[in-house]
Amino acid sequence: MMGGWPLGRQRDVSVTSLIRRASLLLLLLLLGTAAPARATEILPLDQIQPGMKGVARTIFAGQEIESFEVEVLGVLRDLVGPKQDLILVRLLGDKVKYTGVVAGMSGSPVYIDGKLAGAISFRFGFFTKEPIAGVTPIENMLRAAQEEPPAQVAADEPPVPPHYPLPEPVLAAAGLPATPQPYLVPIETPLAFAGFHPQVIRRLADELGPYGLLAVQGGGAAAAERTSSLEPGGAVSAALVTGDMSIAGTCTISHRVGDQLYACGHWLLAFGNVQLPMTRAEVVTTVPSEFASFKIANIGEVVGTFQQDRTSAIVGRLGPAPRMVPVELTVVARGRSTAYHYEIFQHPKVSPLLVTFTLFNGLFSTIDSGVEVSYRVSGRMSLRGYPDVVLDDMFSPSDSFFSDAFLVAASVSNAFRQVFNNPFETPAIQAIRLRVELLPDRHMASIENAWSDKNEVRPGETVRVKVVLRPYRGPSQVREVPVEIPAQAAPGELRILVSDASLLNRLTRSMFFGAGFFVPGGFGPRVTSLEQLISLLNSERRNDRLYVSVFQRSPTLLVEDKVLPSVPLSQMNVLNHQAALGRPGGGMLFGESLVSETSEPLSQVITGSRWLRLIVR
């Protein structure tokens, strides 16, 4: 078939019909999605025999798709799993003898007798350039677009690239030694980083390496005229981050049907159904290595979306880009402001990790001199249909060998993780806008002492709490905080806590939300919706404030999302809370109530605490 016309036949058509068909064909050509001159023939697996010769196609550098010969060594039935066969081949030719099987070669189509047999996807062991490869049969790849999602893997347990030992008869036929035990592994996907510091890449590589991704330093964005054509043997990338910072895995296109592309011949992240940006790619060069040769690539424009990430292929379609998480990061240091604009792939397993490391990367360039700095963070996370999540806080440096900038990035990312991975609904995050100001030196002070001007008080009376603060390597300072005793305070003992944000947050979480609050999957009895979660996140105390809180030994009752402090026994009987205690969505009773809270904003991070006692008469 060509342009919808049967070859060798004639049809009577009107001039209007001819013009319409010609216009449509021209449009398809301009869009780069015109159908090939003839459909690619498929070579069934059961017709493949040892000794057959064929050709494979890939790019080693630039835009040229090169061909090299392959020889079939055998077919390994059910090696990868049930109905997941593999074709074992030897790559032939001077170039592949020099490079061996290359990371980034995954997906290189293999043709036998002019028919598509499959795609190169596995390599032979480590520390070898013996050009033995596994080929995923094309039938398996075509099924990838219709496969059911694989079993979910826990977020902290990425899939470990498996090793597949080769049977002795296959080794003998290939002329390979039986010891040490040879095996096949999926070819790593080179993951190119652009706009990232090497130290950041090394840390993120430790996190993404278990997925079979090989971190390499990329060169940035590729010009359109240098990128590969989107045809079998050409290069294509799947982007995790795009913009001023970019992260993308590059492999080879195996097959194309209209605007649908099949690539890699194995998973990228094993996430099943995805919405992963598909981009053009430029292969800069191929780096030979005794351990594992790899391609270095730059990414180009987004041209579509990968929708399937399966055992046998990643499958995508040319067209609109998927929805991403836009991030605007402004870093202010030494009187200069640097802005970063980028977007992050949306997936619960990796998006929080990408947020952490891109923020860390933006901060890293300003701290690589080793100068001690404090961080003032301000910003918003905007969601469609909900209030913004406020991201204001302050952080001081520590004596830890661990990077302070990473701790700042992880703290901000924690709020994103809880919203993005909430168990209630899928959030539509419209933007993350963050400003981080770097302040020279340590802006911090510890609570050294505290006392009140009275030991006995009456309800409604105001006491003055004096707090001694010791700034880092500075003289002590005394701050006075007026505290009003609640009018409903019952006679008896009151406890006043003078503290930092951290301790007060922990106390109120354990009192009101249970130990499960802020643990993925366990938000405590109060949190039953995304709106409540956002409200609780926004009520978190800030590090640059001094808090004075009044606690009373009276019962606090939680009923659904309501906190009822100092509840009289008569009201508890009316509420009949005993029947609801311990049940989901029911009530919870605590022996102490937080009856008032006062805070003083400061320009430094506060640490420490002191407890005071007052008697209400």
What are the tens digits of pLDDT across the range 308-340? Answer: 999 899 999 999 999 999 999 999 988 899 999
pLDDT band at 570 (very low <50, low <70, confident <90, very high): low
Residues 410-428: what's their mean pLDDT?
A: 94
Confidence (pLDDT) at 178 = 61
Whether the CB-CB separation of 105 and 119 falls below 8 Å is answered with no
User: What span, in angstroms and rounded, lies between the C-alpha atoms of 132 and 126?
Assistant: 11
What pLDDT is attached to residue 573?
Answer: 52
Where residue 410 falls among pLDDT bands split at 50, 70, 90? very high
Higher model confidence: residue 141 or residue 22?
Answer: 141
Give the whole-angstrom CA distance, residue 541 versus residue 497: 14
Interacting residues of 91 by C-beta distance below 8 A, sequence separation 6+: 56, 68, 69, 70, 97, 101, 131, 132, 133
Query: What confidence category does residue 15 fall into, taking pLDDT thresholds of 50, 70 and 90?
Result: very low
Nearest to 312 by CA among 72, 32, 45, 551: 45
pLDDT of residue 83: 80
Indicate if the pLDDT at residue 344 is higher than 90.
Answer: yes
C-alpha 99/C-alpha 286 separation (Å) is 8
What pLDDT does residue 153 have? 41
Quote the pLDDT of residue 127: 55
Give yes or no for a contact between 224 and 49, defined as CB atoms under 8 angstroms apart.
Answer: no
Cβ atoms of residues 1 and 37 within 8 Å? no
Residues ≥6 apart with Cβ < 8 Å to 157: none
Question: Would you place residue 400 in the very low, low, confident or very high pLDDT band (cuts 50, 70, 90)?
Answer: confident
How many residues appear in the chain? 617
Q: Would you place residue 611 in the very low, low, confident or very high pLDDT band (cuts 50, 70, 90)?
A: very high
Paired tokens of 383 = 């969601």
pLDDT at 517: 38
The string of pLDDT tens digits covering residues 526-535 is 688 999 999 9
Q: What is the pLDDT of residue 399?
A: 80
pLDDT at 148: 53
**141 against 587, higher pLDDT:** 141
pLDDT bracket for residue 576 (50, 70, 90) = very low
Q: What is the pLDDT of residue 390?
A: 97
Span 205-222, mean pLDDT?
82
Give the SS3 label for residue 592.
coil
Distance CA 443, CA 432 (A): 26
Average pLDDT over the chain reads 83
Is the peptide bond preceding residue 180 cis, with omega within 30 degrees of 0?
Answer: yes
Least confident of 170-179, 276-285, 453-462, 561-570: 561-570
Q: Given a cut of 60, is residue 152 above it in pLDDT?
A: no
User: What distances in angstroms separate CA 58 from CA 95, 107, 118, 330, one per listed residue?
Assistant: 12, 9, 13, 41
What pLDDT score does 368 carry? 57
150 pLDDT tier (thresholds 50, 70, 90): very low
Across the range 130-139, mean pLDDT stands at 91
Torsion sign over Cα 499, 502, 504, 506: negative
Least confident of 310-319, 396-405, 475-484, 528-537: 396-405
Dihedral sign from CA coordinates of 238, 41, 76, 175: negative
The percent of residues in the chain predicted with pLDDT above 70, rounded, is 78
CA pair distance 364, 358, nearest whole angstrom:
10
Residue 516 — pLDDT band, cuts 50, 70, 90? very low
pLDDT of residue 289: 78
- At residue 7, the pLDDT reads 31
pLDDT band at 131 (very low <50, low <70, confident <90, very high): confident
Under 8 Å between Cβ of 454 and 580: no
* pLDDT tens per residue, range 98-125: 888 999 999 999 999 999 999 999 988 6
* pLDDT at residue number 156: 46
Q: What is the structure's pLDDT at 432?
A: 98
Average pLDDT over residues 170-174: 69
Asked whether residue 280 carries a pLDDT value surpassing 50, the answer given is yes
